[in-house]
Structure 1
Amino acid sequence: MEHAKKTSKSRVKGHRKLGDLLVESGLIDRKTLAKALEIQKIQNKRLGQILIDMGVADDEEIARTLARQLDVPFLKLSRIKLPEDVISMVPADLAENHLLLPVKKDEKGLLVAMANPLDLYGLDDLRFVTQMPVRIVVSPEREIIDAIGRYYPGPDLERKMDSGPPIDEGIEIIQHKEPEEKDLTEIEDILDLTERPPVVRLTNAILADAIKMGASDIHIEPQKTAVLIRYRIDGILREIMQTDRHVHASLVSRIKVISNMDV
């Protein structure tokens, strides 16, 4: 990893805008910037994401361009493992709201990866929370989003299942229709498995929790020894829980049953 240079106020705090820097670098032209800014008024997305959606640049091109223009290092977050004690210095909401991630703490202060180093509010909040001098590296937006999902996992769903009223209250179950082309014995075995209380409770807990947290997607990912449950919330994949590998088939079948899909 390159050593981060201390970024002067004249470079980062010069009231420069992301779009202007990208035009100056030649990555986009003024016409493209104007179109992206019009879209931003309607969609309320980050400018970088709009340019990516338009297909005029990817997040790594944007990050490398910002690094060159601002004379700060570029860092591939996917290649390093971040220390937990450093991650714990920055609250999850600050990391998510400003797309930044602490990388290293040393005698010079805190080294932070940012998708947009021109985010002055994020830098000010970071200095206030950590009470430390801050140095900047630039990383691709998607790598920061993915890293936030890895290092700031969501609350333990299993604790939610074990406390409070039954979480399956208020969940509407869609009646399953008998598929025509499957062996009846096989179907009965699958349905019997998916109707067992632990599977029902786990499935309903995941669905109710995802709705409560405003998730757009639920990822049920089989691993070698476990099943990883992740939600996509505001574009960020957050790890919610891990459960035993053997429940994967019955969990997926249960979701198919309540969705009126062929099992």
Structure 2
Amino acid sequence: MTETQTPSRCGYVAIVGRPNVGKSTLLNHMLGQKVSITSRKPQTTRNNVQGIKTEGPNQIIFVDTPGLHQGQKKAINRYMNQAATTAIKDVDVVVFIVDRLVWTDEDEMVAQRLENLSCPIILAINKVDKVEQKESLLPHLQALGERFPTAEIIPLSALKNTNLDRLEQLLVERLPEGVHFYPDDQLTDRSSRFMAAEMVREKITRQLGDELPYQMAVEIEEFKDDGRVLHISALVLVERDGQKRILIGERGERIKQIGQQARLDMEKLFEQKVMLKLWVKVKSGWSDDSRALRSLGYDDV
């Protein structure tokens, strides 16, 4: 490398915070493409999802984590908290996201888990576009600065792309020098099958978040490309017969609508025609069964 060349940088950045503060939205907007599903329901993200952004000599590997939350009644909740906790142990930078002027017990729980980290922390105040009294931001920023004296604090709006360029600059400055871990055109470490399952789960969560809270999982049973069409069959697991009836809907209209919406997203991501088939099956107690969770892919922590 000559003196005039910019050094290559590459590193891992964990995006952490309590549920529903905008972690997945931030990741998608930083990448300019959806790799992590979103909804207004807390705990939509269940797995650590890596999104890879390569710009010239810099490669940022974002790790979108499940929201850290209190109350671990079921195995799926314990899994999500463990996934998030594991992600912050071996990263180069942590972005801790909080929601506007709000500070909850769960925010404090996240803060306590970050106290002994040796890596840099960037505290992102998200959704500032929704703060009506802008003058109230300054005392809040000052209070957080006292709580996190070594952290860089930045107000932003992930949804509106406000200050995201500045956030990226702060991240790049903190990345170690080194070769890129992934090809420059790779967007995520997750498989196409995983992405397909997540797209189905997103549409279900958005439509049925109140009626079908978190007792639902999606498993891809077929993923076959015949050269012209990508054939995908997805099994949706629920825990009770009543949930199955809600999901299918009257004369199958709801599951048909969910399938249509998921298929359109898949065709954008995979850049080809998709034939999607959805099935619904009752599997009682899967969300509190460690063996069942492992079979569904919740085993990477």
Relative to the length of structure 1, the TM-score reads: 0.24
Structure having the larger proportion of residues in helix: 1
Structure having the larger proportion of residues in strand: 2
Larger radius of gyration: 1
Select the structure with the greater relative contact order (CA < 8 A; seq sep ≥ 6): 2
Relative to the length of structure 2, the TM-score reads: 0.21
